[in-house]
Amino acid sequence: MVTDISTNYTSPAGKDYTIAAGRFAGINPAARVLDMGCGYGESSCNIASEFRARVTSVDISEENIEFAREYAVRKAVSHLITFHIGDIMETNLGGEPFDLILAEGGIFSFIGRRRGLALSRSRLAPRGWLAFSDLIFIADKAPGEVLTIFEDDRFHYETEGSYRQLIKEAGFSLEFTCLVPPSGWDNYYAHMARRLEDQKGFFADRKIKLAFHKEIDVFYRLGGSRYVGYLVCFARAFD
Ligand SMILES: C[S@@+](CC[C@H](N)C(=O)[O-])C[C@H]1O[C@@H](n2cnc3c(N)ncnc32)[C@H](O)[C@@H]1O
């Protein structure tokens, strides 16, 4: 069931997880937060709005950052957020470490999980927190159509067990983990369906429209949540 019809998250884990991450990390107005692959800026705005913390937000898409900047103005938190357009692996994030790094919506699968975890580890303050969400496989075998819509041949998804191992090897202790409930997927696809009405920008492209229509069709027709899950992890850097 759709529980958040106006969300701008482009992933199944939404606002509740971002706020929970801020609470675990004890974020306050003196804290520094990094949002890796911030998309439309929903997480950055939620953290800034709830905790009044300073947020650095990076995304490779100029269009997304443009949207996020305007959204932050509408949410009255633009003075708390510094936006950067660029590849997170190459963006100059300044010298100061972060108290919380958000990596929501599968950015680790895009940039490489070991690389993403290592970058996060290197940019965190001692005992700092990492909150990420990413797609995993939860069944031994998934139908070909499910593998195809999530591009498993390109991203080679982890299972919960293999992700736990990567987190440990990267120097983190796992403090909390869960799978996003069905409402998270419904919120995500409701947002995607809304964006498919776009007449300009990324979602206006016919190929993108077709790809998302197909993903939504396959996910609900074949019961995608029997095969894939959206893993949420809050992890803490070892000393
Ligand atoms: C699925 S979206 C998730 C956005 C947001 N975190 C959320 O959960 O709604 C992934 C985002 O990562 C961005 N991205 C992908 N590769 C990136 C990279 N190398 N550096 C920075 N951003 C990247 C994309 O442009 C996109 O906005």
Instruction: List, for residues 178-223, the tens digit of each pLDDT value.
Output: 999 999 999 999 999 999 999 999 999 999 999 999 999 999 999 9
Give the mean pLDDT of the chain. Answer: 97
Parallel, antiparallel, or unpaired for β 98-103 and 54-59?
A: unpaired
Q: What is the DSSP letter of 180?
A: P
Asked if residue 219 is part of any domain, the answer here is no
Give the total number of structural domains in the chain: 1
What integer is the mean pLDDT of 122-133? 98
**88 CB near ligand 1 (under 6 Å):** yes
Whole-angstrom CA distances from 58 to 87, 105, 111 are: 8, 13, 13
Asked if residue 214 is part of any domain, the answer here is no
Asked if residue 195 is part of any domain, the answer here is no
Amino acid symbol at 121: R
Asked if residue 142 is part of any domain, the answer here is yes
What is the C-alpha separation between 162 and 127, in angstroms, rounded?
23
Local confidence band at 106 (pLDDT 50, 70, 90 cut-offs): very high
What integer is the mean pLDDT of 51-60? 98
What is the C-alpha separation between 216 and 224, in angstroms, rounded?
9
pLDDT of 95 reads 87
Burial of 6 (0-12, 13-18, 19+ CB in 10 A): exposed
Asked if residue 167 is part of any domain, the answer here is yes
pLDDT of 234 reads 98
Ligand 1 atom having least distance to the Cα of 110: 16
Q: Check if the beta carbon of residue 9 is closer than 8 Å to that of residue 43.
A: yes
pTM equals 0.97
Asked if residue 42 is part of any domain, the answer here is yes
Ligand 1 atom having least distance to the Cα of 39: 27
pLDDT of 156 reads 97
Quote the longest CA-to-CA distance of the chain: 49
Local confidence band at 14 (pLDDT 50, 70, 90 cut-offs): very high
pLDDT tens digits, residue range 66-84?
Answer: 999 999 999 999 999 999 9
pLDDT of 239 reads 74
Asked if residue 208 is part of any domain, the answer here is no
Span from the CA of 14 to the centroid of ligand 1 (angstroms): 14
Asked if residue 202 is part of any domain, the answer here is no
Domain containing residue 92: CATH number = 3.40.50.150
What is the C-alpha separation between 184 and 145, in angstroms, rounded?
21
**167 CB near ligand 1 (under 6 Å):** no
Q: Determine which helix (DSSP H) or strand (DSSP E) holds 99, and give its type and residue range.
A: strand 98-103
What is the C-alpha separation between 183 and 202, in angstroms, rounded?
25
